[in-house]
Amino acid sequence: MMAFIKQQAPQEVSEDERTTARDFHGLSAELNSEHATARRWAVRDLVSFPQASEVLVARLKIEEDASVRTAILSSLAQLGDKTAMNGLVTCLRSDEASLRNEAIEVLKAIPDEVGPIINALLNDSDSDVRIFTINILESLRHEHVEQWLMSVIDNDDQVNVCATAVDLLSEVGSELSVQSLMNLKQRFANEPYICFSVDLALKRIQQGEH
């Protein structure tokens, strides 16, 4: 009466049969497979090889499938060595919004690796890179977040970089930030958005005091 069945035989997996050897050379070669599934699995399996960052970064530059790119970014974050970090940071400079944003998400999750390069990124000559760096701070579990944000609003000339920092300070700001916030409001007194967001951040800090 019922058409419910249970699996008779193991599922056929046609494309990603990890048929090639799962050693470093086999996997590196698999990165060029014509099947996205095979490439994704190679990318994941490569995480167990400390020297894999270079081939992954190289693949990222030419990879067109979004799901494989996502996997590469995750693997690079797991590897977390210098090559991997450089590869991820390069994505912040990409013209492609989706790649930039995925890199930001991945970087948020690795505070120990990201911490040491934050200062350099916050001083990057490209204001977009500075904004994206603040986006990384948004979820970064690192004790210096507030200090970094204060240094941004004290020093950065670009209004949108400061605006992004204030947005985050309205969540993580403490009484330490009060003076910097007030100075910023003076500095951009004719920018309604800055005034609005500084007032909000100050209100939150002050009301939270009691």
Residues near another protein (CB under 8 A) are: 1-7, 10-13, 15-16, 35-37, 40-41, 44, 65-67, 70-71, 74, 95, 97-98, 100-102, 104-105, 108-109, 111, 126-128, 131-132, 135, 139, 141-143, 145, 159-160, 163-164, 166-167, 170-172, 174, 191-194, 196-197, 200-201, 203-204, 207-208, 210
Least distance (Å) between residue 121 CB and another protein: 16
One-letter amino acid at 100 equals R
Of all helices (H) and strands (E), which one includes residue 118? helix 118-122
Cα torsion at 163, 167, 170, 174 (round to 10°)?
-60
Residue pair 146/176 in contact by the 8 Å Cβ criterion: yes
- Shortest spacing between CB 163 and another protein, in angstroms: 6
Q: What's the closest the beta carbon of residue 33 comes to another protein, in angstroms? A: 11
Question: What residue type is assigned to position 79 of the chain?
Answer: L
Nearer to another protein, 57 or 201 (CB): 201
Smallest separation, CB 75 to another protein (Å) = 11
Separation of alpha carbons 190 and 171, rounded Å: 24
Report the residue number, 36 or 117, with the smaller CB distance to another protein: 36
> Encoding tokens for residue 205?
């800090």
H or E segment and range at residue 202: helix 192-208
Looking at the Cβ atoms of 3 and 62, the one nearer to another protein is 3
The least distance separating another protein from the CB of residue 65, rounded to whole angstroms, comes to 7
The SS3 assignment for 83 reads: helix
CA distance 159 to 138: 18
Nearer to another protein, 83 or 139 (CB): 139
